[in-house]
Amino acid sequence: MIVKKFNIEPATKDIIPFLIEKIDNLTKPKGSLGRLEELAVQIGSIQKTLTPQLTNPQHIIFGGDHGITAEGISYSPPEVTPQMVFNFVEGGAGINFLARQHNIKMKVVDSGINYDFENLDVLIDRKIRKGTRNYLYESAMTAEELNRCIEHGAQVVRDCRTDGTNIISFGEMGIGNTSSSSMWMSALTGISLEKCVGAGSGFDSEGVKRKYTILQHAMDNYTGDGSVADIMKYFGGYEMVMAVGAMLQAAELKMVILIDGFIMTNCILSASKLYPEVLDYCIFGHQGDEAGHKLVIDYLNAKPLLYFGLRLGEGTGALCAYPLVDSAVRMINEMSTFKHAKVTKYFE
């Protein structure tokens, strides 16, 4: 069903012993910088070098509306999606201050928002349709729309690569997309839907129960072939599928990918079901408070860097983790060796 093919190579493993040797000869006890050392090894293996670099980091937000919101599965009303897009481009959202703080360039993409944006040149227009269809009754998108989303997401990343970017992160804006993520998660992992459904943007326990009941009806109504592409097509959002295409393209281009919260973790879950090698390029920024996030992280055998109780989305967890990634690269490049610093190596 997915037409576009990606050529994703596993990260280079034969350089790992040399990276470890370099790190072990820096002026510190072996292993004493913990996860920073692991990150440096991972990034060095992605870039095939003993001196990895982070250049022109960019963050992409994909926005789209979801037809399933007609069933009352979200605490927030659908009009919040375009309202938040205006907030992004005006610089007033949570993700904006983090992007400014860490000098990360931001791009916002209209993947399928139910709104006509006029004279908003800073918004990248890749609108497929004004929101997906209601998957309680039918597939959220067509196969043709799925393929357009994959290609659009990939093109945005290729444009970033042209700008010299080698580390990238992704966020989303789309009321209802925690529901779609829960559907992907359950269908692709076998974890019960009830464990995958959480509060989203603010439901109480009764709201979560109603949300689960509606989503379970939608799952029961599904009559597709159960393939990864069909699950993505039937239950996904345009912004989510574009993120999948973007992640796969980033891995093909050997870029470091910072993964955000529940929604982006389910996007990389879907991407990894298509191309398992994509996970070699991923650094998981944080584990959030959405009910199913820990479960899907554990399923992927991922090790998130932060546990901050974040649940905003937008990519905030990925950007909060960026300084740690930067520190890992600075460690391997800027620390002296025992020989160079004329310090006695005080361990074997």
Q: Which range has the worst mean pLDDT, 190-194, 198-202, 213-217, 336-340? A: 198-202
Only one residue has tokens 């004279």, namely: 119
Q: Are 7 and 13 in contact (CB under 8 A)?
A: no
- pLDDT beyond 60 at 201: no
Which residues have CB under 8 Å from 99's CB, separation 6+?
Answer: 59, 105, 106, 319
Per-residue pLDDT band for 204 (boundaries 50, 70, 90) equals confident
Q: What is the CATH number of domain 65-323?
A: 3.40.50.10210
Domain ranges of the chain: 65-323
b/e burial code for range 265-286 (CB count within 10 A of at least 16 → b) = bbbbbbbbbbbebbbbbbbbbb
What would the DSSP string read from start to end of 109-131?
A: EEEE-SS---S-TTEEE---SSS
The pLDDT tens digits of the residues spanning 34-66 come to 999 999 999 999 999 999 999 999 999 999 999
> In the predicted model, what is the mean pLDDT of residues 61-76?
92
**Higher-confidence residue: 345 or 171?**
171
Q: Are 168 and 258 in contact (CB under 8 A)?
A: yes
Per-residue pLDDT band for 256 (boundaries 50, 70, 90) equals very high
Could you give the residue numbers annotated as active site? 314
3-state secondary structure of 171: strand
User: Cα 26 from chain centroid?
Assistant: 33
Per-residue pLDDT band for 341 (boundaries 50, 70, 90) equals confident
